[in-house]
Structure 1
Amino acid sequence: MRKMPEDKVHKITSVTCTAPVNIAVIKYWGKRDEDLILPINSSLSVTLDQDQLKTTTTAACSRSFKEDRIWLNGKEEDINQPRLQSCLRELRRLARKRRSDGDSSTDVLSYSHKIHICSVNNFPTAAGLASSAAGYACLVYTLSQLLGVEGELSEVARQGSGSACRSMYGGFVQWRMGEQEDGKDSVAEQVEAESHWQELRVLILVVSAERKPVGSTAGMQTSVETSPLLKHRADSLVPGRMEDMINAIRQCDFAAFGELTMKAIVAYTFDAGPNAVIYTLQQHMAEFLQVVMQFFPPETNGGQFLKGLPVSPVTLSEELKSSIGMDPLPKGIRYIISTKPGPGPRLVDDPSLHLLGPDGLPKKTA
């Protein structure tokens, strides 16, 4: 069942879902419409496996709730944040429309009830690891399940965070910039499923888990206002690179994929923070990881250094060590997350995993 039975006292209906992080390899940086979050160019990303990085969100509605409320990572936040309100309004509108169109399966009261939302990340928030993308994708998907909304949801997620539209799908996803002024054609679509390129692997080198000093929105605005080359990139370079990247993904051509991102046996990119995201193939994972650990040695008492998918250790040759030509930098990397392409948002069927209790408030953590 998708919904918990209504509590006899509080009459609360709850839904819990998870959603993934995505990391762009052809990036969008800058908006042509700040209110609708319409980008100046199309983009393409890899959705990462939720076993390593995900947002979990529970949404509940009840006649007894007095107001909409939201808790993020254990702290209550302002529900009136404009982008959050945009998503709530649109999903309620779609729920009302479905009911008015004669769909009796939609709870006639649910879209008028107040909603409580609780969301947590299992990775650093606001540190440049696309937490807003996973967060808004999870919010939109969870509320769509709660309110009985179906259809194209990436447009709704985009109104919360631009890159969130790409987290509505698994695998390899493009976000078409669109041409319409109302943004109806600025949506995401899956290029290939996560199972398409099974050898592709991702390493996230976490240098800092702290909140980044300049937010993505502010950074984009500054770039649009000050960079004379940004428009040239969006108009002249990105369209061809998008086509080339899609072809590389469909052909599982890592040489072309890597060249478009960075020339090497591995390809690196950064999101909006200091943490490097490394793309490579499974056959290179062990050796590359050992090189990283050779020159960025983990702290002996610093906790688990490699998280996520296991990687078998290998021994580096002295020739390889000497050819790199750099001294070890202790504490340069806090930890590494090993992952791969993964699926889009998922419904959590186990009621015990709901983040909200039977009173509609966040559960107490031990």
Structure 2
Amino acid sequence: MPEDCLDTSNTVTCTAPVNIAVIKYWGKRNEELILPINSSLSVTLHQDQLKTTTTAATSRLFQEDRIWLNGKEEDITHPRLQSCLKEIRRLARKRRNDGDPGVESNSLSHKVHICSVNNFPTAAGLASSAAGFACLVYTLARLFGVEGELSGIARQGSGSACRSMYGGFVQWLMGQQDDGKDSVAQQVAPETHWPELRILVLVASAERKPIGSTSGMQTSVLTSSLLKHRAESVVPGRMMEMNEAVQRKDFPAFAELTMKDSNQFHATCLDTYPPIFYLSSVSHQVINLVHRYNSHYGETRVAYTFDAGPNAVIFTLQQHVPEFVQVVQHFFPPEINGGQFIKGHPVNHAALSEELKQSIGLEPMPRGISYIISTKVGPGPCVVQDPAQHLLGSDGMPKKTV
């Protein structure tokens, strides 16, 4: 092997998914360890549409640890990155010292290069840090031969990242211990559990997140009495109800809980002082649209949830996707300049009745929605077996295509 070439046996590439919380996490009781004030539950989205890919490599030739995110080199001394990296190395050293042969091939004295990209635009505000830190931890664990419970390490990078360590339906238990050892993620049901469930991400055109999640949570914890009530008196019951709804595949119960919890999360943002506004006029219109659509049919066919941003995540069943997509296109007429309005899973065309349009009765908002990502429930992190897919070249630097 040439002197300046990487030993690809010390290179690992993995992918990890985005997750969307249906019972929301908002507020920490410990900032350093990222311990939440309440438990949460999420749905893992399919990686065919939304994923982070990360390559990590060690080499005796590397002078220092380095990381590249979406084509740009970032500061690897960031405390959250360091928490994940140090913990994986600590566990790897422990395994080596315990005589485990699985870690001998990766010299722990070598520096590491990490390269990570998303296959979705970060501007969409779609939990890129959750997918990113889950992928980082999973990839480093594979590289250094670390096995076992990893969600607690991912949590130290980004709270919701612990839920991206599993596919399907996942709960993050807040835990009781001060050291956070019991604040981990658990799979509630696998991705194969509810095959009819579908997800539509409605990406709004404008307004970016006005206040970051970290600072928003800090202010809410300090000033919102509703947040305290929610964490202590509301969420524990909702976690049980949501678990049961998922197990029964009870869409009306799942949908109502999802919408109520999204509304209450944004109510706590309004109850924060000064108030935080994550929803836009487009978001409000989507909420109206969903309720009027459901009202027209006299049953809950569609549900919305919003994270800390204006983009709606819609849950529905497979048979309702074509019509609801047409409803969105009608009330949010797109401006397509060679772009694609519906991305991801193909959606069949459906005709809209005049009766339905009139029943909804909203004024159209042209260009309110930039595009829709059509997806479904998906698996957790995966190892990429093909070395050609590595994001780092033979010199340990990002490939030009990254």
Answer whether TM exceeds 0.5 for this pair.
yes
Matched, 1:334 2:370: yes
- Range with greater deviation from structure 2 (49-58 or 290-299): 290-299
Work out which of the residue numbers 299, 311, 315 in structure 1 matches 2:335. 299
Matched, 1:279 2:315: yes
Structure 1 residue 208: deviation in Å? 3.9
Structure 1 residue 10: deviation in Å? 3.3
Work out which of the residue numbers 352, 361, 365 in structure 2 matches 1:316. 352
**CA deviation string 1:68-98 (max 9, x = no partner):** 0000000000000000000000000000001
Structure 1 residue 255: deviation in Å? 0.8
| SS of match in other structure, 1:285 | helix
Counterpart CA distance in 2 for 1:311 and 1:9 is 49
Structure 1 residue 49: deviation in Å? 0.2
Structure 1 residue 214: deviation in Å? 1.5
Structure 1 residue 265: deviation in Å? 1.7
Higher helix share: 2
Counterpart CA distance in 2 for 1:7 and 1:350 is 22
Q: Is the 8 A contact 1:208 1:274 kept in 2?
A: no
Q: Where does residue 3 of structure 1 map in the other structure? A: none
Q: Is the 8 A contact 1:52 1:308 kept in 2?
A: yes
- Range with greater deviation from structure 2 (119-128 or 33-42): 119-128
Structure 1 residue 299: deviation in Å? 1.5
For the aligned residues, what is the CA RMSD?
1.5
Q: Where does residue 102 of structure 1 map in the other structure? A: 99
Structure 1 residue 126: deviation in Å? 5.7
- Range with greater deviation from structure 2 (101-110 or 37-46): 101-110
Q: Where does residue 10 of structure 1 map in the other structure? A: 5
The normalised TM-score by structure 1 is 0.96
Q: Is the 8 A contact 2:197 2:318 kept in 1?
A: yes
Q: Where does residue 17 of structure 2 map in the other structure? A: 20
Q: Is the 8 A contact 1:357 1:363 kept in 2?
A: yes
| SS of match in other structure, 1:146 | helix
Counterpart CA distance in 1 for 2:86 and 2:207 is 32
The normalised TM-score by structure 2 is 0.87
Q: Is the 8 A contact 1:126 1:210 kept in 2?
A: no
Q: Where does residue 166 of structure 2 map in the other structure? A: 169
Q: Where does residue 296 of structure 2 map in the other structure? A: none
**CA deviation string 1:2-42 (max 9, x = no partner):** xxxx7764343211000000000001100000000000000
Q: Is the 8 A contact 1:129 1:272 kept in 2?
A: no
| SS of match in other structure, 1:246 | helix
Counterpart CA distance in 2 for 1:114 and 1:322 is 63
Sequence identity of aligned pairs in percent? 75
- Range with greater deviation from structure 2 (206-215 or 221-230): 206-215
- Range with greater deviation from structure 2 (78-87 or 101-110): 101-110
Matched, 1:140 2:137: yes
Question: Are residues 218 and 244 of structure 1, via their aligned partners in 2, closer, same or farther at CA, if it must alter by over 3 Å?
Answer: same
Q: Is the 8 A contact 2:207 2:310 kept in 1?
A: no
Matched, 1:76 2:77: no
Counterpart CA distance in 2 for 1:355 and 1:184 is 33
Question: Are residues 58 and 209 of structure 1, via their aligned partners in 2, closer, same or farther at CA, if it must alter by over 3 Å?
Answer: farther
Structure 1 residue 108: deviation in Å? 6.0
Gaps of 5+ in 1: 1-5
Q: Is the 8 A contact 1:61 1:115 kept in 2?
A: yes
Counterpart CA distance in 1 for 2:317 and 2:124 is 26
Counterpart CA distance in 2 for 1:334 and 1:181 is 44
Q: Is the 8 A contact 1:47 1:343 kept in 2?
A: yes
